[in-house]
Amino acid sequence: MSPVTPPVNPDNRSDGRRGRWDSHREQRRAELTNAAIEAIRIHGPDVGMETIAAHAGVSKPVLYRYFADKSELWLAVGQQAGNMVIEAMVPAVAAVREERAIIGAAIDVYLAHIESDLNLYRFVVHQPDIARHRDVVADVMDTVASGLARILGDRLRARGLDSGAALPWAYGVVGYVQAVGDWWLRQQQPISREALGEYLTTFLWGGIAGIRRAADIPGGLAAHEGWAENA
Per-residue pLDDT tens for 133-147? 777 888 888 888 887
The pLDDT value recorded for residue 179 is: 95
Q: Is 3 part of any domain?
A: no
| Domain end call among 67, 86, 102 | 67
Which amino acid is it at 177? V
Q: Is 96 part of any domain?
A: yes
Q: Which residue has the higher pLDDT, 51 or 96?
A: 51
The Cβ of residue 207 has, within 10 Å, a number of other Cβ atoms equal to 12
CATH of the domain at 95: 1.10.357.10
- In terms of domains, do 137 and 189 share one? yes
DSSP per position, 48-59: -HHHHHHHHTS-
Long-range contacts of 129-135 (CB under 8 A, 24+ apart): 130/70, 130/71, 130/74, 131/69, 131/71, 132/71, 132/74, 133/71, 133/75, 134/75
CA–CA separation, 94 vs 174, rounded Å?
18
- 200 contacts 191 by C-beta, under 8 angstroms: no
- In terms of domains, do 133 and 87 share one? yes
Q: Which of 117, 116, 112, 176 is nearest to 144 (CA)?
A: 176
- In terms of domains, do 98 and 28 share one? no
HSE at residue 117, side-chain half, CA atoms within 13 A, is 22
pLDDT-derived band at 3, boundaries 50, 70, 90: low
- In terms of domains, do 130 and 40 share one? no
Least confidently predicted of 65-74, 110-119, 164-173: 164-173
Q: Which of 5, 204, 213, 63 is nearest to 228 (CA)?
A: 213
